[in-house]
């Protein structure tokens, strides 16, 4: 598609070659309706390659979330591929308008030579080329949470364990899809949209953190703009991301922006309902569930990590901080003593 109609291109490197290369690449790139080329100079070093890698990591999450919505719709609509195709077709006219949503309807409608749906004959073993894994590695190394992409990669790995999955299905056959019928198509739509916001939020966090680490000075508004056409994750959604960052190009977590905060609040009841219902029905939706878990962890004022720190100090003397002491002051407790067995001090780690 990119070769035929123009790709989104993410070049980077030294300033010396920018003026020679950029005009050529912008000429062959996809262009938005207003003529803007979907190609911008990303920054120095390998920043362009890295932005493309994170694009693919987001793509993994996007595809997994759509597949999970499909699995729920397939049960809700009793395997009627035409009904599900119509659902995706209608979604593609709203906030979920995107390349991936757009190609799902024709995929579900495609008939094999015998007149039966081809989708039912495709083996449920997903392949991958490695960019999802690379994104996760970069996220871990930079201290960034990329849980939706991670669950998407793990889901692909699990999909390939066909023999074991078939055995597990025989040993644990009590899946009951009945609760799914408590859901509406709108519920699934809202859960997909909210989870998609989280997937992109995490990806942008990774770009910001790596930009600061390497002094790339990535322009997130430009990146969102060049992703709007000529790539797999092209969507209407990216216009809103570009608008959120364009005024100042100052990074702020996507969930703090008025537009996406409003959308999350609107979608949250359905999002929770979908995850709860899928779990009750025994239907795996790891991407959607992990997106909600990340959101709840992110908005949690006081987490349970204090117990983890106490445990680490108990078995390994790894030290902990206290809420009634300045940050950076570390403490150790002799946990086998009772009462005032606490010792404190400034430890150099």
Catalytic residue among 1, 19, 20, 59: 59
- Burial of 54 from C-beta contacts in 10 A (0-12 / 13-18 / 19+): buried
In SS3 terms, 102-161 reads as HHHHHHHHCECCCCCEHHHHCCCCCCCCCHHHHHHHHHHHCCCCCHHHHHHHHHHHHHCC
16 as an active site residue: the answer is: no
- Give just the sign of the alpha carbon dihedral 138, 132, 280, 278: positive
Q: Are 40 and 34 a contacting pair, CB within 8 Å?
A: no
Q: Are 54 and 199 a contacting pair, CB within 8 Å?
A: no
Side-chain-facing half-sphere of 109: CA atoms under 13 Å:
12
Of 260, 233, 265, 228, nearest in space to 244 by CA: 260
Taking the C-alpha atoms of residue 281 and residue 106, their distance in angstroms, rounded to an integer, is 28
- Give just the sign of the alpha carbon dihedral 88, 233, 130, 196: negative
Taking the C-alpha atoms of residue 334 and residue 329, their distance in angstroms, rounded to an integer, is 17
174 as an active site residue: the answer is: no
Q: CB 44: neighbour CB atoms within 10 A?
A: 16
Catalytic residue among 16, 19, 52, 302: 52
The alpha carbons of the chain give a radius of gyration, in whole angstroms, of 23
Catalytic residues: 52, 59
């Amino acid at each position: 598609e990119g070769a035929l109609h123009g790709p989104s291109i993410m070049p980077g490197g030294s300033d010396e070659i920018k003026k020679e290369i950029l005009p050529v690449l912008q000429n062959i790139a996809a262009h938005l309706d207003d003529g803007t080329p979907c190609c911008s100079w990303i920054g120095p070093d390998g920043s362009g390659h890295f932005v493309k890698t994170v694009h693919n990591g987001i793509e993994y999450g996007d595809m997994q979330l759509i597949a999970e919505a499909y699995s729920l719709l397939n049960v809700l609509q009793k395997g009627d591929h035409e009904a599900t195709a119509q659902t995706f077709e209608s979604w593609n006219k709203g906030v979920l308008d995107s390349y991936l949503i757009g190609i799902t309807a024709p995929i579900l409608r495609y008939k094999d030579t015998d007149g039966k749906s081809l989708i039912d004959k495709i083996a449920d073993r997903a392949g991958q080329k490695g960019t999802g894994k690379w994104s996760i590695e970069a996220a871990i190394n930079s201290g960034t949470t990329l849980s939706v992409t991670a669950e998407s990669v793990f889901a692909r790995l699990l999909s390939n364990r066909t023999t074991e999955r078939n055995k597990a299905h025989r040993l644990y056959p009590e899946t009951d899809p009945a609760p799914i019928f408590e859901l509406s198509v709108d519920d699934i739509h809202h859960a997909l949209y909210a989870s998609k916001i989280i997937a992109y939020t995490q990806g942008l966090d990774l770009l910001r953190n790596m930009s600061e680490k390497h002094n790339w000075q990535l322009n997130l508004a430009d990146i969102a703009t060049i992703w709007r056409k000529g790539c797999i994750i092209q969507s209407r959604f990216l216009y809103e991301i570009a608008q959120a960052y364009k005024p100042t190009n100052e990074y702020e977590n996507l969930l703090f922006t008025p537009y996406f905060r409003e959308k999350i609040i609107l979608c949250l009841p359905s999002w929770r309902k979908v995850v709860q219902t899928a779990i009750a029905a025994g239907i795996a939706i790891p991407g959607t569930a992990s997106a909600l878990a990340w959101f709840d962890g992110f908005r949690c004022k006081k987490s349970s990590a204090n117990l983890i720190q106490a445990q680490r100090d108990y078995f390994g003397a790894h030290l902990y901080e206290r809420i009634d002491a300045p940050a950076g002051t570390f403490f150790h407790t002799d946990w086998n003593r009772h009462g005032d067995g606490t010792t404190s001090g400034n430890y150099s780690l």
